[in-house]
Structure 1
């Protein structure tokens, strides 16, 4: 599994990257990247596991890349060529082959890590993050507090493990959430 968070423009790009490699991928939804919430997620990932930016080979992609780099200077960059990202008149990461995406990421020098499993689906149940009344809201609040974002049970579990959240960190955050209620 690739250690770094891979930042892309949209959900079609997420699908293309996940088809090529095993990684955590964050879509910034185009120019929504300028939101404080999105940039905070990228900053946190940069501090915790590293970030690779892989945007479309066009003007919008360059602008998004520059916005991210200005806010989080230590990100890595992966590039696909216009030729690799073009299908008919559409330019984007989603059009690139898995081979082109892998080659771009290799040039950015990603790190491979073991897929750690600190937490399991049983933990999600025992912490009330799955299958319980209010579990969705608990994941939302916890994701915000831990700075890993919201996800369904499976996505949230993957983020807890990928971002290396410790059991102690999780339990402290849950304690804070429980005090609010």
Structure 2
């Protein structure tokens, strides 16, 4: 059983997560987090720690940001968009058990006092912005690093705030370049 409690968005997410791993899950019910749910998350956060595992879409990112502000030591797991899509739907509930386990194996903690290791120049130098393939490359690199997909500005933010080292970044780029 996973020590931390997973915070996900909906009831179907619980089903998918339980197929992948034995864990306690609290659902937010979308962005309308009520007082009772926030109290449950607070208790889990204080007693066991939480892992935020939201859908890789705009709504999921807004929920993640909201929770991260309230629970700064929370851990974060990201399922790559392509692994969370099925039947024209995107979400944790669409991911395979393997994709969920992989995301949970790459958990990161957000550092609220960000390092300034990476900049837009790093993205530009590595064709992660400004090319037709940039979005797909960021998506794959985010998967390799365990920080998920993001636009260029958000990607630099995640590199600097989720503890990615220069060495990890360069190793992931090597893997990405070998795949191309």
Shorter-chain TM-score: which interval? Answer: 0.5 to 0.7
Which structure carries more relative contact order (alpha carbon 8 Å, separation 6+)? Answer: 1
Deviation (angstroms), 1:57: 0.2
Deviation (angstroms), 1:32: 2.0
- 1:85-112 Cα offsets, whole Å, 9 max, x none, are 0013100000100000001011117xxx
Is the contact between residue 46 and residue 75 of structure 1 (CA under 8 Å) also seen in structure 2?
Answer: yes
Q: 1:30 aligns to what SS in structure 2?
A: coil
Give the CA RMSD over aligned residues. Answer: 1.4
Show the counterpart of 1:54: 53
Deviation (angstroms), 1:41: 1.3
Which structure has the larger Rg?
1
- 1:55-110 Cα offsets, whole Å, 9 max, x none, are 0000000001111111111110000011000013100000100000001011117x
- TM-score of the superposed pair, with normalisation by structure 1: 0.58
Is the contact between residue 78 and residue 107 of structure 1 (CA under 8 Å) also seen in structure 2?
Answer: yes
> After superposition, where does 1:1-181 map in structure 2 within 5 Å?
1-33=1-33, 35-108=34-107
**What 5-or-longer segments of structure 2 have no aligned partner?**
109-180
Deviation (angstroms), 1:39: 1.7
Deviation (angstroms), 1:48: 0.2
Give me the whole-angstrom Cα distance separating, in 1, the residues matched to 2:21 and 2:62.
25
Aligned pairs, how many?
109
Give me the whole-angstrom Cα distance separating, in 2, the residues matched to 1:96 and 1:30.
18
> After the TM superposition, which parts of structure 1 deviate over 2 Å for at least 4 consecutive aligned residues?
none
**What 5-or-longer segments of structure 1 have no aligned partner?**
110-181
